[in-house]
Structure 1
Amino acid sequence: MATRTTNVLAAVAAIASIVLAGCRTNDDQRHQSRSAQLHEEPGDPPSAGAAAGGTLVYYSHFPLVEHLDPQRLYNGRDISNLARTVYRSWVTFPVSADVETATTYVPDLATDTGTSSQGARTWTFTLRDGVTWQDGRPIACADFKYGASRVFATDVITGGPQYLLTYLDIPLDERTGLPIYTGPYHSSATGRAAFDRAITCNGRTITYHFKKPWADFPLAVASLHMMDPYRADKDRGRRSDFQIFSNGPYELEGTWDEEEGGTLVRNPSYDPSTDTTRSRRALPNRIVFDIGKNPEQITDRLIADRGRDRAAVSGESIPRTYFSRITGEVAERAVAVTSPYTWFLVPNFRRLTVLKVRQALAASVDVTAWVEAGGGDKAEKEATDIVHPAMRGYQKGLFPGGSGNPARARQLLESAGVQTPYPITFSYISNGPIADAQAEALKQGWEKAGFKVGLDGRTEKEYYGIVGQPSQKADILWTGWGPDWPSAITVTPPLFDSRPNLTETSNGDDLGRYRSARFEALVDEAQNAPDLDAATTVLQQADQVLADDVAYIPLGIPVFYLLHGSAVTGYVNTAASNWYPDLGAIGVR
C-alpha cells in the first residue's frame, strides 16, 4: 500500500460497500450451526444483533479493483476485504476498534506467530491442521513456497509488492540487478536451486532465509498477500489476475467482471473451527461487489435508506457537498475515521539550500487553515508527523501544526540573511476548487512570514512526471504516502533514503532530492536491528533527523467520512481493515 499520491488520491476518493437484505434458506440455517463452532476470543468486535445470513453488497466507484491475484494485490481496500473473506495468511490482524490490538498480528493459518533466528534473518512457521482449499484438498507447505515463487516472475506477476526480491537470500544477476531466480514459469536450474535453498519445507513447517534481518516480517505477512499460499495447478499466470481460489469462508460465484464486480458465496470446504471470530465472523451469506456507481449516487441511496440499501455499508466517502445533509437519524449512521494516508510538503533541496529558510517555511505553515479549506475535520485531521498515529514509530508533536508562527518565521528569514520577500514556487495537484483553496491557505500563511509565493497547480496526470525530474523548478511540493504495514520502516526509508531513489534522471520517491549520511546510517541500523522494538527506536531517531533538516512538513491525514444503512450490524472501521468497513465483523439484520 505504500503508494505515490496518485494512487493515494484514488484510494481516498474511493470506498464502497452496500448490503442487501436476503431471504433465509436452508443454507443459512446450515451456516448458523457451523458458525457456532467458531472459536470466540476475548476482545472480539461488538456482536449485538449480529446473525448469520443476508447479502452484503459492496459498492465501489474508484479505484476499480486492480487485482484479485494475492501476489498482485496492492490496494489497501482490496487487501483487507479479501483477507477477511477468501485469502488467509500465516498471520493476520484481528478485528478490533483498538488501534494497538488491530495492528498486533495473531496466528491465522500458522500455529503461532512465527519464530525468528539468526538475528531475524530466518523465520519459521508451522501450518495448522485441518485447513483446506475450496475443493477440499489440504493446504500444504509447498503451496506457500509456490506462492512466494510467483513474486519473482516480475514479467508476469506485476503490480504487487516486491520485497522478497531484496530480502530473500538469492544471489543477484550482475547484468539485470535482479535475483537469478525469475519465478516458476521460466527459471534456470541455477536460479531454481537458489530459491529452493532460500525457502525450505519440512513437513508442515516452512523456513524463510533472508540476506538481511527482517524483524517485522510477520507485520508484512499480515498486511500484504505476497506470502499467501497458491496452488500450482491453479496458476494461469497473467490469466489468474481476476480468479479466486479460496481458502477462506467465501468463494467466488462464477466469474469476476472487471467492469461490474462479482459475488462471494459460502465456501463449503471452509472449517470455521480452524479460525476465530477475532479475525472473521463471516456473517453474510453473500457479498456482492458492485462497481461503477459514483459517490453521489451511493450517498443518495444510503441517505434514503430504503429497500436493500437499509442493509448497506459504504466505503465511499461522503462528498463534501453532502455534508449539510448528514443530520438527524442520517448522522447517527455516519462515521468519520482517519485514513491510513498522510499529506505532507517536501522542500526541494536543490533550491532551498539554507536550513533557516526551510525552518521559516515550516514555522509559517498554517495547517489549521489547510484543513478548514479542505472541508474541516470530516475531511481531514491535522498531522504533526509523517508517520501515521496508528503506526509503530509515531511521535506526537514532532512538528507543531496549528496556525503557524509567522513572527518566528520572519526572525528565521532575517537571521538567514536572505532578501525578503523571499520568492518560492509551490507545486501541487490542482484537481478542483478544494485543492486550489488549500494551496491559497498555505500561500497566505507563508506571505505573512515574508515569502512571495507563486502557485503552480498541475493536473494529476502531469504532476508526477514533472516533480519526479531532478531539474524540476518548484521550491516546495505537495505529496502523500500510505505505509505497506504498520511500521515506520515503510515510511521514512523509502521516501528519504537517497540511495535507492536518486539518479541523474529521476528523484524516485525522494521528490525533494534529500541526502543525509546521518539519516541513512540510522536507516541501515534499523534495517539490521534484531527485533521490532529496537528498529522502531532507531527509526524515531531517523525521523527526528528529518524534522531537524526540515526534509518534510506534515499537513494532514485524510478522513473517510462514511455512511451505512440502518439494518447493518457489527459495523466497525479498523486499522486492520485500513479504516475501510471491516468485513470481518459486519453483518446484516
Structure 2
Amino acid sequence: MTRSTRSTRRSRTVALTASAVMIALGATACGGSSGSSGSGAPGKGGTLTILDKADFDHLDPQRVYTTEGQSMDQEIVRTLTGWDETGSAPKLVGDLATDTGTPSKGATVWTFHLRHGVKYQDGTEVTAPDVKYGVERFFSSDINGGPPYAAQWLVGGSGYKGPYKGKDLGSIQTPDKYTIVFHLNQPVADFNETTTMTGWSAVPKSHDTGSTYDTHVWADGPYMIKSYTKNKELVLTRNSHWAQPTDPIRQQNVDGMNVRFGQDESAIDQQIKADAGTAQTSIQQWPIAGSDLAQLANDPSLKSRYYKIPAPGINYLAINTTRVKNLKVRQAIEYAIDKTTVRGAFGGSAYGDYATTMLSPGIGGYNKFNLYSANPAGNLAKAKQLMKQAGSPKPTMSIAVENTPTEEHFADAVKTALERIGITVNITPIDASSYFSTINNTKNQYDLTWGDWIADWPNASTVLPTLFDGRLIKKNPQANQDLSYLNDPKVNALIDKAAKTADVKQRNVTYGQVDQQVLKDAAVVPLMYMNFSEMSGSKVGGVILDPIVAEPSLVHVYVKH
C-alpha cells in the first residue's frame, strides 16, 4: 500500500517476519513506543487532535489503500483479523473473527467464525452476511482504489461486478449468522493476513451509500463519524455500542478525535514542536517535512514524543515504459539520478538508506544487488554514454509528484539531474489528498511518477506482483498500481511461478529474480528504503509504533490530564 508521502503509506502494510520486525524496531526505533509518551494507566477522556497536511484518499474500507487511511479506519471499522502490536513483534489475532481462521482443502478454502456481540453504532449486531456484502463491494466499478486480492483470488471474482445489481458472489458463503467461508481459486497460505486489511470488514447493506460511503462509514469500532467536511475536518466521537471485551486490539480512551486537514507540513512540525495549547494533545499522521527532519530527529528535547518507524518499503521513481520506450534512455535515467539530492529533499539520512532494489532488506526474496551506479550521486558519464547510444534524443518528460514542498524539492532534484543528460522535465504537482487516485487512473499517464510502497502484509507477494504484473493494468484501470506500465512476459511468468511455489525459500528465490528483471527493464529507479518520523504533543500517551502500516498507531492512544 502507499503511504501518501509515505500506500499502502499504498500503498499502507509490512513484509517482515516477526524476528525481522523485532530486529528492525530494536535497531532503528527511537523515542516513542507503546506507552512511551506517558507512564501508568491510560487516562480516560479528552480529545485527540490529529494534524494532517491533506485529507485521506478514502475512508471507505473497501477503497482504502494508503497507510494513513488504514490507520484511521482502524478506529472506525474492524476487520476479520488484525495485528496485536503491544508485544515485541506484531502478532496476528482474530478481530471480528474469534481466531485467525481455519484453512482447508490445501488452503483454497478459509473459514472464519465471528465473535458474538460486536455491534454497530446503532446497536445492531455485526453478522457474517455483512462481511460478505462488504467484501463484495470490492468488485463494483463505483468502489475503486482498493487492493486487488479479492478479485484475484476468490472463485468467480473475475466476472463478478459487485452487489449493487442484486447479485452475490457464490464463493463467499455464510452458512450461519456467525460463519463466513471463502473459496479461493489457488492456495493462499497467508490469506488470514490479507484479511487484516480494511476491505475485509463488514458493511451493513442498509447503510451503504455507494461511492459516497467515504464520508458515511458505518462504525463497529470504538469511534464513529460525527461529522466530515472533506479537505477541512473529520470529527470522531465514541461509539457507545462498542464493547472492550469483544475487541482484542483497540481501546476507547479518548472521548473523540478531531482530524484537521490542510496545514503546510512544516507548519504542523513547528506547531507540535512548540507544544503549546492544543498542540500538547495533538499528533501527526504524515511524515515530518524533509526540511525539518534532520533537525527534529536530533533534538534531544523531543525524544520522548518523536516516533521513528522503520517501514519495510520503498520510495521510488517509476518510469513509464510505454511512453519512455527506449531501454537505453531508461537506463540513462537510472545512472543520472542523484540520490543524494533526492534523499536530501526527504530529510537526509534520517529518512532512510539508499535503495538499489525494489524489495527492502528484511523482506523474503530480498537480495542485495545493484545494476546501476555504485555511487548514490549517480554516474553522469555513463548516463551520457547511454543517451548517445540511444541516438542523443532531447526528450521532454512529465513528472508527477504531490503538491508539497518535500515532493516539489524532490522533483527539482530529478529535473536538475536529467537536464544534465538532455532531458527536459516538466513538473506536475497533484493535490496530495487525491494524488494516488489520480496517478492510479490509467487515463492519467506521466513519463515519470513518484511513488512509494509498503507491503500489504508480511509477504513479498504483496510488493512485486501488485506493482509489476502488467496483466493487472487492464483489470484495474481506475486503480492501477503499475506506475511503470511494465508488462514484461518474463516478469509475469516469474510472478506466476512464485505464486505456484509452495516452498517459501524457493518462492523467495523466484521473487528475487522478479526484482532483478524489473531493474534490468529499468522500469523504476529505487530511491530509499524508508523510515517514517512523526511527533506528538507532550500530553499524548499510548502511541504504538506500527510497523505494519508504518504509522503511529492510535488504537491505545490516550490524553494525559
Distance 1:64 1:345, change over 3 A: closer
CA contact (8 A) 1:147 1:227 kept: yes
Of the three residues 270, 276, 287, the one matched with 1:300 is 270
- TM-score w.r.t. the length of structure 1 is 0.74
Task: Give the Å deviation of 1:560.
Answer: 3.5
Task: Give the Å deviation of 1:118.
Answer: 3.2
| Distance in 1 separating the partners of 2:228 and 2:320 | 44
1:205 aligns with 2:179: yes
Of the three residues 488, 497, 511, the one matched with 1:525 is 497
Residue 498 of structure 1 aligns with an amino acid whose one-letter code is G
| Distance in 2 separating the partners of 1:296 and 1:408 | 33
Task: Give the Å deviation of 1:409.
Answer: 6.9
Alpha-carbon RMSD: 4.3
Of the three residues 435, 441, 451, the one matched with 2:410 is 435
Matched ranges for 1:216-235 at <5 A: 216-222=190-196, 224-235=197-208
Residue matched to 2:284: 314
CA contact (8 A) 2:7 2:67 kept: no
Of the three residues 543, 550, 561, the one matched with 1:579 is 550
CA contact (8 A) 1:344 1:554 kept: yes
Q: Unpaired segments of 5 or more residues in structure 1?
A: 16-42, 173-177
Distance 1:335 1:346, change over 3 A: same
Corresponding residue SS for 1:199: strand
Deviation digits for residues 178-207 of structure 1 (CA, Å, limit 9, x no counterpart): 42x531x323xxx44xx2354342453211
| Distance in 2 separating the partners of 1:296 and 1:405 | 27
Distance 1:297 1:68, change over 3 A: same
Task: Give the Å deviation of 1:226.
Answer: 1.6
1:488 aligns with 2:430: no
Matched ranges for 1:23-38 at <5 A: none
Deviation digits for residues 342-378 of structure 1 (CA, Å, limit 9, x no counterpart): 22353747766567x7667645654334323553124
Residue matched to 1:280: 250
Task: Give the Å deviation of 1:76.
Answer: 1.7
CA contact (8 A) 1:169 1:210 kept: yes
Residue matched to 1:36: none
| Distance in 2 separating the partners of 1:548 and 1:49 | 54
1:387 aligns with 2:359: yes
Larger radius of gyration: 1
CA contact (8 A) 1:215 1:532 kept: no
| Distance in 1 separating the partners of 2:398 and 2:372 | 23
- TM-score w.r.t. the length of structure 2 is 0.77
Deviation digits for residues 545-582 of structure 1 (CA, Å, limit 9, x no counterpart): 32344443311245533222122223333223x22221
Residue matched to 1:544: 516
Residue matched to 1:214: 188
Task: Give the Å deviation of 1:109.
Answer: 2.0
Residue 216 of structure 1 aligns with an amino acid whose one-letter code is D
| Distance in 1 separating the partners of 2:68 and 2:444 | 33
Residue matched to 2:216: 243
Query: Taking every aligned residue pair, what percent have the same amino acid on both sides?
Result: 25
| Distance in 2 separating the partners of 1:536 and 1:205 | 34
| Distance in 1 separating the partners of 2:244 and 2:462 | 33
Corresponding residue SS for 1:196: coil
| Distance in 2 separating the partners of 1:161 and 1:467 | 14
Residue matched to 2:103: 116
Corresponding residue SS for 2:544: coil
Residue 140 of structure 1 aligns with an amino acid whose one-letter code is T
Matched ranges for 1:408-419 at <5 A: 410=382, 418=389
Distance 1:265 1:465, change over 3 A: closer
Residue matched to 1:48: 39
| Distance in 1 separating the partners of 2:148 and 2:439 | 23
| Distance in 2 separating the partners of 1:533 and 1:554 | 24
| Distance in 2 separating the partners of 1:394 and 1:114 | 29
Distance 1:534 1:116, change over 3 A: farther
Task: Give the Å deviation of 1:315.
Answer: 2.0
Distance 1:89 1:401, change over 3 A: farther
CA contact (8 A) 1:310 1:568 kept: yes
| Distance in 2 separating the partners of 1:130 and 1:466 | 39
Deviation digits for residues 68-91 of structure 1 (CA, Å, limit 9, x no counterpart): 3322333321212221x2211111
CA contact (8 A) 1:374 1:380 kept: no
Residue matched to 2:525: 553
| Distance in 2 separating the partners of 1:299 and 1:399 | 37
Matched ranges for 1:365-384 at <5 A: 365-372=337-344, 374-379=346-351, 381-384=353-356
| Distance in 2 separating the partners of 1:149 and 1:507 | 17
